[in-house]
Chains A and B, each alone.
Chain A
Amino acid sequence: MTASRLQHIVSSGIVLFVAVIVTWISFTQQPADAFLFPRLIAIFFIGLAVWNFIRAISGMAKVGEGLDSTSFINIVPGLVVMAVYVFFAAKSLGFYFASTIAFLTVFTIYDSVPLRDIRGWIKRILVTAIFMLVIYGLFAMLLKVQTPRGIWF
């Protein structure tokens, strides 16, 4: 299976956009000596990005299976939990508290056991508690890593 032509055009277009930004910055920013190596790399980067984009619009890009709508819909809830956990909850709620909630949430969202099954909930809570105890033992007690405590822990 390969991604659709449109998906290839969009992905190679994004890479080309990044290459243009990198090239533009490399050749316009000062001091020029600090951008000597970036300029060298930017030349190859933009050359390859243009080639890749041309291959995509001409339908020659075949490598990569792309992302189908079912997979994308499956990913969205987990991605949202992960983004909220990393970008907001971990620092504001505290690493251990936020991790416990995030672990339990991901486990619950993707667990095939129905939500109304009490035994399923007991298993989820037990696994989460054991895993977080191991993480606490490893990072807080063994490695002595000081993590943000936030408003909880």
Chain B
Amino acid sequence: MEFLGYFGGVFEPVSFMLLLGGTIGGLILGATPGLSPTMAVALLIPFTFHLQPAQGLILLGAAYTSTVAGGAVSAILLKIPGAPANIATSLDGNAMAKKGEGARALHLSFLASGVGGVIGVLLLIFLTPVLAQWALAFSYSHLFWMAILGVTVIGSLDSKSFVKGLLSGCIGLWLSMIGFDDNLGAQRFIFADALAGGIHIIPALIGLFAIPQVMEMFAKGRANAAIEAIEVPKQSLLASIHELGQSMRSLSIGTIFGSIIGIIPGVGGQIAGLVAYDQARKFSPKKEKFGTGHPEGIIAAESANNAMVGPSLVPLLTLSIPGSPTAAVLLGGLIIHGIFPGSDLFDNHPQVAWTFINSMLIGQILMVIFGIYTAAWAARIARAPVPIMAAAVMVLALFGSYSVQQSMGDVYIMLSLGIGMFFLEKFGFSAAPLVLGLILGPIAESNFTTGSLIAQAQDGPIVYFMTGLLNMFLIFLVVASVAYSFWSNMVHGKSSKPMEARS
């Protein structure tokens, strides 16, 4: 119950204003099609650089939580999911809105998000310290394997092609080695002056997540058909709360599946929403109503994608393995303040860790309140023309990446990485494992180097890195994540062939 002592930090004026701003801003960004939660959090990181670590994390956590929930607004009113996590919400949400039940759909969406989110954060609160204490037993070899596991899990599970996912991870690891070697001061892979200082995480995150989206918007050209939002007639909030109380089956299914899927690294909210929706349909006596504007569909999907948020931070805060691409960006937000996940975070910076986690709990409640009352307003902003969004993100990316070190080199790196990532994504490569490689590369290398020195004084590197129960277990997980993804690719490859033949 250590966390109870740190609630005061959330209600300090600056922290609370950031929580409020992050929640409202996140709801609007989440409701805006084309702006992903990961990109929103990446664009916010430069601002956190100027804040206290806890305050910075409060802003990022609030934005993460509310962008996922805000995506439901455009999914319901515009039938355009604000984020991949809201795909399942649009199935019934938009049908309800078309029937004149938009307010009811929005109420249920935010209430279910709030319930799922609170339970997800409670899981984060109770699981994290236990795992963090377990992480204390880790030596250099274990930390090395943990970092490699982080890259392989995201590389193999977050990508459609596991070869390209792992290749993305390798590219990220290589990018992390650019610059001067920390131990010997040797130059490594410095092909241009701008690379002499290495690749800073923040410009890289902005480039990798924001620039490809700007280019996606460019790719649409001038075809800018006006998006019509459905008008939202008023609806009693109490009636919606009562209805949610009567939909405990869908709410429980969504929350349980969201929490379980969230804790599995690399799976993410899109899967959580779709799996929960599918399970709620299977267990419902009104199966046939799903997809025609059935409230249970919204409740299952939205409770799942927000229940996923808290647990997705458990492996991040304890073992440095982000549960989702957005969590990977949050890891970057921690590291720029010199804070490393695991026992360091909870033993040396408990105020940062618990204030952040508590803020996510309060943030869930604020998200429900502001989500319900600003949803219709957010939908109007979400209809901002694509060229404005593209131009705005482009300018923000320049200022954001420059402001970190006041270096034009960072700006050049940001744009170069962003353009490169856009083309890589077009051919099946993925930004998330690349970012993980970039973030976890230095952690893997420093533990590998120190471990190698210790190994020389003992029985050699093979014995040091490859033997011992925990080493073997971690190596097994690395191999299993790759093998599972390989098997999954093979099965999907075979099962998709008949579909392709039919089409």
- A81 CB → nearest B CB, Å: 8
Chain B 25-60: CB-based contact to A (< 8 A → 1; otherwise 0): 000000000000000000000010010000000000
CA distance A35 to B449 in the complex (A): 10
Instruction: Compute how far the CA of A45 lies from the CA of B174 in the bound complex, rounded to whole angstroms.
Output: 9
> Does B412 contact A87, Cβ atoms closer than 8 Å?
yes
The verdict on A106 contacting B391 (CB below 8 Å), with A41-B173, A139-B399 known, is yes
Q: Is the CB of A99 within 8 A of B219?
A: no
Contact A110 B167 (CB under 8 A): no
Closest to B160 in A: A63
User: B223 an interface residue at 8 Å Cβ cutoff?
Assistant: yes
Q: Return chain A residues, CB-CB under 8 Å to B448.
A: 36-37, 40
Distance in angstroms from A23 CB to nearest chain B CB is 10
Residues 123-152 of A, flagged 1 when their CB comes within 8 A of B and 0 if not, give 000011001100100110001011110000
Docked pose: A131 CA to B427 CA in angstroms: 34
* 1/0 contact string of A86-104 vs chain B (CB within 8 Å): 1100110001000100111
Interface string of A103-116 (1 = CB under 8 A from B): 11011011110000
| Contact partner, B177, options A41, A62, A132, Cβ 8 Å | A41
Q: Write out, one digit per residue, whether chain A residues 54-69 have a CB within 8 A of any chain B CB (1) or not (0).
A: 0100000111111100
With A74-B220, A110-B221 as known contacts, state yes or no: A37 contacts B164, CB within 8 Å. no
**Is B457 located at the chain interface by the 8 A CB criterion?**
no
CA distance A15 to B428 in the complex (A): 12
Most chain B CB inside 10 Å of its own CB: which residue of A8, A48, A62, A111: A48
Of the 9-residue stretches B71-79, B82-90, B181-189, B375-383, which lies at the interface with chain A? Answer: B181-189
Say which residue of A31, A70, A73, A107 sits within 8 Å of B184 (CB atoms).
Answer: A31
Give the nearest-CB partner of B159 in chain A.
A63
Partner of B395, one of A71, A74, A91, A102: A102
Residues of B near A131 (CB, < 8 A) are: 388, 391-392, 395
Contact residue among A31, A44, A83, A145 (Cβ-Cβ distance under 8 Å from B186): A31
A107/B388 in contact, CB under 8 A = yes
Known interface pairs A44-B170, A99-B398, A102-B395. Does A22 touch B189 (Cβ–Cβ under 8 Å)? yes
A146 — which chain B residues lie within 8 A by C-beta? 406
- Report if B163 contacts A (CB, 8 A): yes
Q: Which residues of A contact B50 (CB under 8 A)?
A: 143
A33–B221 alpha-carbon span in the complex (Å)? 50
- Given A37-B444, A37-B449, A63-B428, answer yes or no on A103-B219 (Cβ-Cβ < 8 Å): no
- State how many angstroms separate the Cβ of B82 from the closest Cβ of chain A: 21
Would you call B286 an interface residue if the criterion is a C-beta within 8 Å of the partner chain's C-beta atoms?
A: no
**Which chain A residues lie closer than 8 Å to B131 at the CB level?**
none
Q: Which of B10-18, B61-69, B134-142, B210-218 contacts A (4 or more CB under 8 A)?
A: B210-218
Considering only CB atoms and an 8 Å cut-off, how many residues of chain B contact the other chain? Answer: 65
Whether A135 and B219, one on each chain, are in contact in the complex, defined by CB atoms closer than 8 angstroms, is: no
Cβ contact of B163, chosen from A51, A74, A82, cutoff 8 A: A51
Please pick, from B181, B223, B387, B424, the residue contacting A109 in the complex, using a CB distance under 8 A: B387
The answer to whether A48 and B166 have CB atoms under 8 Å apart is yes
Given the contacts A22-B189, A127-B388, A145-B406, A135 and B423 also touching, CB distance less than 8 Å: no
Chain B 155-206 residues near chain A, CB threshold 8 A: 159-161, 163-164, 166-167, 170-171, 173-174, 177, 181, 183-184, 186, 188-189
Contact in complex: B423, A11 (CB < 8 Å): yes
Q: Can you name the residue of chain A whose Cβ is closest to the Cβ of B51? A: A143
| Residue A3 CB within 8 A of the other chain | yes
B182 closest partner in A (C-beta)? A34
In this complex, the interface size class of chain A, counting residues with CB under 8 Å from chain B, is: 35 or more
A-B contact count (CB 8 A): 193
Q: Are B386 and A110 touching (Cβ within 8 A)?
A: yes
A104–B388 Cα gap in the complex (Å)?
A: 9
> B423 touching A75 by the CB < 8 A rule?
no
Q: For residue B490, give the distance in angstroms from its CB to the closest CB of chain A.
A: 11
Q: Which of A30, A66, A127 has a CB less than 8 Å from the CB of B427?
A: A66
> Is B402 in contact with A145, judged by CB distance below 8 angstroms?
yes
CB contacts (< 8 Å) of A148 on chain B: these are 408
Q: Using an 8 Å CB-CB cutoff, how does the interface string of B384-418 with A read, 1 for contact, 0 for none? A: 01111011101110110011001010011011000
Q: How far is the CA of A31 from the CA of B160 in the complex (A)?
A: 38
Give chain A's interface residues, CB within 8 Å of chain B. Answer: 3, 7-8, 11-12, 15, 18-19, 22, 25, 29-31, 33-38, 40-42, 44-45, 48-49, 51-52, 55, 61-67, 70-71, 73-75, 77-79, 82-83, 85-87, 90-91, 95, 99, 102-104, 106-107, 109-112, 127-128, 131-132, 135, 138-139, 143, 145-148
Q: Could you list some 24 contacts between A and B, CB below 8 A?
A: A30-B186, A34-B181, A36-B448, A38-B174, A45-B174, A48-B163, A55-B163, A61-B161, A63-B161, A63-B164, A63-B428, A64-B160, A64-B164, A66-B427, A74-B219, A77-B218, A82-B214, A83-B415, A90-B408, A103-B395, A107-B388, A111-B387, A131-B391, A147-B402
Of all A-B residue pairs in the complex, the 5 with the closest CB atoms, nearest first, are A64-B428, A63-B428, A78-B218, A34-B186, A74-B221
- On B, residues with C-beta under 8 Å from A are 47, 50, 159-161, 163-164, 166-167, 170-171, 173-174, 177, 181, 183-184, 186, 188-189, 211, 214-215, 217-224, 385-388, 390-392, 394-396, 398-399, 402-403, 406, 408, 411-412, 414-415, 419, 423-429, 444-445, 448-449, 452, 493
